[in-house]
A and B are shown apart, each in its own frame.
Chain A
Amino acid sequence: MTDTITPVNAEVHDEKLAEESPTRSSFLGYFGTKLGGALISLVMVVLLGFFAFRVLPGDPVRRIAQERPMSPEQIAELRRQYGLDKPVTQQFLDYLVNIFTGNLGESYVYRTPVSELIGQYLGPTLLLTGTSAIIAIALGLWLGQRAAWRNGSLFDKIATGTSLTLWSVPTFWLALILLMIFGGTLRWFPTGGMVSPGVEPGTFDYVVDVARHMVLPVVTMVAVVFAQYLMVMRASLLEEKSSDYLTTARAKGLRDDLVRRRHAVPNALLPTVTLVFMHIGGLVAGAVTVETVFSWPGLGKLTYEAISGPDMPLLQGTFVVFSTIIIVMNLIADLIYRQLDPRVRRA
């Protein structure tokens, strides 16, 4: 819902285009720059993970002590457990060693290694966000190009109006409303979880059951995200619409439909691809609240549990993993973009 929080600004992608300067020649050079950028971002995530949790004024242990009564001995024990009694430089080195060996510490609430927990909860999140992303992208791009092509028509007005409204809806509230109507009142779909108890994994019934549990969370995420894709695609195609080559295509007698499908849309898709991947970050963020409302056993719900704990090692772990997923997604976007746009490739 947050970037969610970023309004769709045409400037962002205009600029993205301008940024792909025609100086980088070889594929390796391009790949190297992008990979380097992603690595720097990862390093910053790792640093932020450390500084946010140990150096910022809010002492994590004092914070935990605020939330629940604790004796001074317990506080001292917690400090020792987190390694907070050591000097900061030593803490930092320990943290680096741990993070590169995949050791994210032990969850305070679950009493199991954080990496193990994240491993268990990662699958459902990927299933949920992946499905939602595919549906939202397909729907958003299709409606967006329709709306732009008939700019100013009733269809365009409805599409834009719906997008603006959906953009103003907090993800978690839409989830609550859907839960209330279809889970509570109509009882069409289950109100939470991923599988009903007693269903054997691996059977056909299992697949159907998971799909039924997925409907409401997926609809929520699609509804909130597709509007952004729609607006991006619409803006992008509107920009192409006045191009000379479209006049040429029409002049040589192509049907309007063909002009749109073969000439305008492929070009409009280019800037859209980057933004689509950039918004996947928003989708992942949306997973936090959607999974919370529907008790979907994924990383988002784990984050919520870490907040209510408060379970700092777990929160730190989910932060690092979420951020890594998003950075990798963006790297993929950059690479796909190069494949799609021959101008970037050849130049």
Chain B
Amino acid sequence: MSTTEQARPVAPMTTRQVASRRRRASAAKLWREFRASASGMSGLIFLGVVILLAILAPVIADRSMLDVTQLTDQPRFAPPSWEHPMGTDHQGRELWVRMIWGARTSLLVGVAATAMSMIIGTLVGMAAGHFTGVAGGVIMRFVDFFLVLPSLVLAIVLSSVLSRGVLTIVIAIGVTSWAATARLVRAQTLAVEARPYVERSQVLGAGHWHIIGKHLFPAVLPLVLANTTLTVGSAIIAESTLAFLGLGDPTQQSWGTILKDSMDVSAATSGYWWYVVIPGLAIVLVVLAFTLVGRTFEAIVNPTLRSR
């Protein structure tokens, strides 16, 4: 959308201008409808607060608060109190400091992996819907394969063989979770492709790139964006699961690695409840918020879903 605006010529009301004005109007309408949904808005506000905390982490709590070597006088496994709002961990680190630093990794991986998954899913889905015949069939076979195979198992394999790090986790989640999006996009592509304006474009001699870029992509975009918000939640869960299994980056804090540490010291059976409850609750709330926002958004762009 931004490219169209940059390329806007000076002449009054070109087709581009009309299109961008229409797009802006529909975005405003979408926002109006979104604001009317209580659950969607509460999810959005909650996410805003969490993202703000994550961005401000270095300001709120200096990184040195996580340095184990400087925390020799801190109590270990201190339960939540006024002094230690969320308690401390097995090395005397404040849990709340780990939580806001962990939010950075968890959110970053969630968003980055989702972006990757959405790009692959949209491209493959549009290709599968646009190219009929053998090519489309082969692509769909490929999509089905990834749809059937549980992404966690594949992600485990990928993150075990690639060198350990945040980028590996992003790739592992991104390349294993795009299949559902691809199917969704393909269905939408097929529906759009059958419309007269695409046929008109074809008759006027438009090539594959033109049709995909100018007609199919704008038509599938709202659906993809709604799906994105839902997928971020799953990606955050996937990140925490991989980190929990010991595949995360050991040098970075994430909610998954905190839970991994808590299992390694048997916090669950030793009565250190805050060590288990707090990071997990954070994941649940953030994922729930993403789900609420995504569902609200989805219901607006896809009115057939509204009754559900």
The CA-CA distance from A80 to B45 in the complex, in Å, is 57
**B269 x A184 contact (CB < 8 A):** yes
**A168 x B284 contact (CB < 8 A):** yes
- Interface of A: prevailing SS: helix
**A53 x B161 contact (CB < 8 A):** yes
- Does B195 lie at the interface of the complex (its beta carbon under 8 Å from any beta carbon of A)? no
Contact string against A for B residues 242-269, beta-carbon threshold 8 Å, 1 for contact and 0 otherwise: 0011110000000000010011000011
CB within 8 Å of B: which of A295-329?
303-304, 306-308, 310, 312, 315-316, 319, 322-323, 326-327
Contact string against B for A residues 97-126, beta-carbon threshold 8 Å, 1 for contact and 0 otherwise: 000000000000000000000000000000
- Does B199 lie at the interface of the complex (its beta carbon under 8 Å from any beta carbon of A)? no
- Does B123 lie at the interface of the complex (its beta carbon under 8 Å from any beta carbon of A)? no
Q: Which residue of A lies closest to B305 (CB)?
A: A10
Distance from A197 Cβ to chain B, minimum over Cβ atoms (Å):
18
- Does A41 lie at the interface of the complex (its beta carbon under 8 Å from any beta carbon of B)? yes
The CA-CA distance from A14 to B276 in the complex, in Å, is 40
**A281 x B144 contact (CB < 8 A):** no
Could you say which of A56-64, A207-215, A254-262 contacts chain B? A56-64
**B149 x A5 contact (CB < 8 A):** no
**B153 x A284 contact (CB < 8 A):** yes
The CA-CA distance from A301 to B130 in the complex, in Å, is 43
- Does B105 lie at the interface of the complex (its beta carbon under 8 Å from any beta carbon of A)? no
Residues of A within 8 A of B284 (CB): 165, 168-170, 173
The CA-CA distance from A151 to B306 in the complex, in Å, is 12
Contact string against B for A residues 199-240, beta-carbon threshold 8 Å, 1 for contact and 0 otherwise: 000000000000000000000000000000000001100100
Residues of B within 8 A of A307 (CB): 156, 160, 245-247
- Does B183 lie at the interface of the complex (its beta carbon under 8 Å from any beta carbon of A)? yes
Contact string against A for B residues 2-40, beta-carbon threshold 8 Å, 1 for contact and 0 otherwise: 000000000000000000000000000000000000000
Interface size counted on chain B using CB atoms at 8 A: 65
Distance from B135 Cβ to chain A, minimum over Cβ atoms (Å):
16
Residues of A within 8 A of B259 (CB): 172-173, 176
**A6 x B288 contact (CB < 8 A):** no
Could you say which of B48-56, B93-101, B228-236 contacts chain A? B228-236
List the interface of chain B (C-beta within 8 A of A): 141, 144-145, 147-158, 160-163, 176-177, 180, 183-184, 186-188, 227, 230-231, 233-235, 237-238, 240-241, 244-247, 259, 262-263, 268-271, 273, 276-277, 279-280, 283-285, 287-288, 291-292, 294-295, 305, 307-308
List the interface of chain A (C-beta within 8 A of B): 1-7, 9-12, 14-15, 37, 40-41, 44-45, 48, 52-53, 56-58, 60, 63, 151, 164-165, 167-173, 176-177, 179-180, 183-185, 191, 234-235, 238, 278, 281-282, 284-285, 288-289, 292-293, 303-304, 306-308, 310, 312, 315-316, 319, 322-323, 326-327, 330
Known: A170-B237, A319-B153, A326-B149. 14 other contacts (CB 8 A): A2-B237, A7-B230, A12-B183, A15-B187, A56-B162, A63-B161, A164-B292, A180-B276, A285-B151, A285-B152, A292-B245, A303-B156, A312-B160, A319-B154
In the A-B complex, the 10 residue pairs with the closest CB atoms: A2-B152, A173-B280, A285-B150, A168-B287, A5-B234, A285-B152, A281-B150, A180-B268, A184-B269, A168-B288
